[in-house]
Amino acid sequence: MWTVIGVCLLGVALPEVELRTVGGQSAKGSLLALDAQHAAIQTSAGRSQWELQDLAAISVLGTSDHPSAAPAVSVEMVDGTKLAAETFAAEKGRATVKVGGGDVVELSGEDIRCVRFAPPTDALAAQWSRIIEGATAGDLLVVKRGEGIDYHRGVLHGVTGETVEFEMEGERLPVRRSKAYGLVYHHPTGRELPEPIGLLQDRTGSVWRLRAVALAGDQIEWTTVLGVKQKRPLAAVVRLNFSHGKVVYLSDLEPDSVQWVPYFGMGKEFPSRIAWCAPRKDRNLQSGPLQIDGRRYAKGLALHSRTEMVYRLADTYRLFATSVGIDDTARPRGSVRLVIRGDDRVLFNAEVAGTDPVKPVELDMTGVRRLTILADFGDDLDVGDHLDLCEARLLK
């Protein structure tokens, strides 16, 4: 158990933070203390302390949610930690990862789930997901093949900047890294890991799954679920998310169904048009940050009219909360009729226009097992109908 670590900020210039509670309250100020039980900030009204179990997130203001460039290498750990890396090398069961900013992380090969050597694209994302989810026996070497990817099953050995040493049918082959799209490490089932207390997102795009976290001076220190210890300046952190087990974001769930109907049908729709109008998770329909009235949001959904999404809820929740509006890339155009149903009851029905300010929505979800969200056509055909449901979340 970490002890409470406080810090007097005289002479230490820390960035301002915003605390948000599970119930929707927020406060801004300088971070004074943080550990596994409490967080404290200095606001204009004085010191304010919060129980960590009541917090949804701590956001560091003035930092960008989106890295300036996609990482050259992505490394996913078995605990869900995802590293945006510059380089990756492995030898004799150990891996060395140079993450964004130049820091080097030493890892055990037993803790690595997969490595991707190319930035993700919409065209390959589904193929990559199917490959890593279907890996049941043996390591996989994923290679580029035409416009897609394929894999070979075998045993992964050393990885350098130039080659991947891969064993197939008893023969070790040096495969050029330029031909490799990614690696998938095989691990026996049944490994149990501690529950995380939250997630830390840094400015490079890495997301660390936390077992412990604390503030020490102007530094955030943390230990991942797998025991990897790290330290960064508070200014290098984008967000600490403590909503695990308390809040579920719709952008982290897979809908039971998604249906898009164009205003002007074209018979057989072009795949490119379908892809362009498909819902986006945690980004707007232009693949940029979600933004309404100049404010950016890290989590949420972007929908083009007419889109209906249905979620079947495996758990019970008391509230659904979101902030809705037309994205800044389309304003002042856009007019969407937003209808939200819980099972067969209409919980919300209102017009959302590009001239409207952001609208907070909070709905009673008692007993609801099926949540339906419809972004219907409004009063202006479908021109500029770029609806954002920012911070769309279910609360227990």
Q: What is the pLDDT of residues 283-313, one digit of tens each?
A: 999 889 999 999 999 899 999 988 999 999 9
45: alpha, beta or left? (left if phi > 0; alpha if psi -120 to 50): alpha
pLDDT at site 122: 72
Q: Considering only 159-168, 313-322, 376-385, which range has the smallest mean pLDDT?
A: 376-385
Main-chain phi, psi angles of 322, to 5 degrees = -160, 165
Q: What is the pTM of this model?
A: 0.69
> Residue 64 pLDDT > 70, yes or no?
no
pLDDT, mean of residues 266-276 = 61
The DSSP code for 289 is -
Give me 94's structure tokens.
Answer: 């150990």
Tell me the mean pLDDT in the region 163-173: 94
* Reported CATH class of domain 248-395: mainly beta
The neighbouring-strand residues paired with 31 are 41
Beta-carbon neighbour count of residue 375 at 10 Å? Answer: 27
CA distance 334 to 140: 46
In this prediction, residues 342-357 reach a mean pLDDT of 95
Q: What pLDDT digit, counting tens, does each position of 67-83 carry?
A: 667 788 999 999 999 99
> Can you give the residue ranges of every domain in the chain?
16-62+193-245, 73-184, 248-395
User: Would you place residue 374 in the very low, low, confident or very high pLDDT band (cuts 50, 70, 90)?
Assistant: very high
| Average pLDDT for 310-317 | 90
38 neighbors 51 (Cβ within 8 angstroms) = yes
209, 225 contact by CB (below 8 A): yes
**Interior angle at CA 101, CA 96 and CA 105, nearest 5:** 20
Given a cut of 90, whether residue 157 has pLDDT beyond it is yes
**Which DSSP string do the residues of 182-236 spell out, in sequence order?**
EEE----S----PPPSEEEEETTS-EEEEEEEEEETTEEEEEETT--EEEEEGGG
Whether residue 60 has pLDDT greater than 80: yes
Q: Which residue reads 């080097």 in tokens?
A: 104
pLDDT of the residue at 350:
96
pLDDT at position 252: 87
Which of these ranges, 224-233, 262-271, 306-315, has the smallest mean pLDDT?
A: 262-271
pLDDT value at 262 more than 90: no
Lowest mean pLDDT of 223-237, 314-328, 377-391, name the range.
377-391
The CA radius of gyration of the chain, in Å to the nearest whole number, is: 23
User: How many Cα atoms sit within 13 Å of 250 on the Cβ side?
Assistant: 30
pLDDT of residue 67: 64
Residue 236 contacts residue 276 (beta carbons within 8 Å): no
pLDDT at 7: 41
pLDDT above 50: residue 88: yes
